Amino acid sequence: MKLAISTLVRVVVLVCAVLAIVPAVEAADRDKLLSEPGVYGTFATFSLDADWGKQDQVVRIAQLTVLKGVVEQHREKIAIDLYLLRGLSDHGDLMFRIHASELRDTQTFLVDLQHSLFGNHLKTSALMHGLTKKANYVPAFPDQLKADLKTPSEPGPKPYAIVVPIRKNAEWWGLDQDKRAAMMQEHTEATMPYLKTVKRKLYHSSGLDDLDFITYFETSKLEDFHSLVLALEKVKEFQYTRRFGHPTLLGTVQSLDEIIEILAQ
């Protein structure tokens, strides 16, 4: 199980080679994709097949070089984030979060990925799509709440990421906008104590998938995230939720190079 020192050195050298081999390409305007409305967010989770781990390390590293190449190449057009689910979620090993102006660009990336040597070892476990939109209910919130919502989250790394797909029931959509707005205000107030430690992002999915929303969270304090969810279960709006999770995807935020190092070992 423990690699001998010489092997470790060899791995480090090879991995460094991987990390260096692909020249940086001009990145998509990542900041814009991650902050503006009208952007499509895709959560693509994959399991590594049983053969992956049985391959020789050198072969695996060669395939990870391919992974690096595919990701870097597509980063010209789309924003790609990586997560390690293995060891924390039974719904997959790797997750890609992709932001793109057009889902066709996301499709091209994922097809290239799956058609690559590395992709031959991936089995799609789930694909979910959502759209970023301007906040729906916030404009009608009291000024104080609107101001509070702008509280920035604490600086520093937030190693854990959680994805919770949500589907509301038919009764929810049948309520008039005012009633929904009032309940969403109560919902929002319940989240205030966790604004600093739990970062959130919302995607609208109706029609793009069998969901209404994808909620995405990052935190360094999982206990706070747990308390946040508990608080949300207690507000009235929760009673109109037909599906919360199923799956809840829990993983750790990783750079492409970190993922390569983990899978190379």
Instruction: Tell me the catalytic residues.
Output: 200
Instruction: Collect all residues with Cβ–Cβ distance below 8 Å to 246 and sequence separation of at least 6.
Output: 165
Residue 204 structure tokens: 């609208």
Q: Which of residues 192-221 bind its own copies (CB under 8 A)?
A: 204-210, 212
Q: Does 108 bind its own copies (CB under 8 A)?
A: yes
Closest distance to its own copies from the beta carbon of 229 (Å) = 3
The number of helix segments (H) and strand segments (E) in the chain equals 9, 9
Q: Provide the phi-psi class of 202: left if phi over 0, else alpha when psi is between -120 and 50, else beta.
A: beta
Quick one: 87 or 142, whose CB is closer to its own copies?
Answer: 87
Sign of the Cα pseudo-torsion (241, 38, 218, 224, in order): negative
Q: Does 116 bind its own copies (CB under 8 A)?
A: yes
Residues 42-81, mask of contacts with its own copies (x by CB under 8 A):
-------xx--xx-----------x--xx--x--------
Candidate residues 29, 31, 36, 171; the one interacting with its own copies per rule CB under 8 A: 171
Residue 129 phi/psi, 5-degree rounding, is -120, 145
The three-state DSSP-derived secondary structure of 12-63 is HHHHHHHHHHCCCCCCCCHHHHHHCCCCEEEEEEEEECCCHHHCCHHHHHHH
Candidate residues 33, 78, 94, 164; the one interacting with its own copies per rule CB under 8 A: 164
Q: Does 89 bind its own copies (CB under 8 A)?
A: yes
Q: How many CB atoms lie within 10 A of CB 181?
A: 16
Q: Does 134 bind its own copies (CB under 8 A)?
A: no
Q: Does 115 bind its own copies (CB under 8 A)?
A: yes
Candidate residues 229, 256, 259, 260; the one interacting with its own copies per rule CB under 8 A: 229
Q: Fill in the amino acid letter for 145.
A: L
Quick one: 99 or 129, whose CB is closer to its own copies?
Answer: 129
Q: Does 182 bind its own copies (CB under 8 A)?
A: no
Candidate residues 107, 140, 145, 255; the one interacting with its own copies per rule CB under 8 A: 107
Q: How many CB atoms lie within 10 A of CB 157?
A: 8
Quick one: 29 or 90, whose CB is closer to its own copies?
Answer: 90
Q: In this structure, are residues 123 and 47 in contact, taking their beta carbons and an 8 Å threshold?
A: yes
Closest distance to its own copies from the beta carbon of 226 (Å) = 5
Closest distance to its own copies from the beta carbon of 182 (Å) = 16
Candidate residues 17, 29, 58, 104; the one interacting with its own copies per rule CB under 8 A: 104
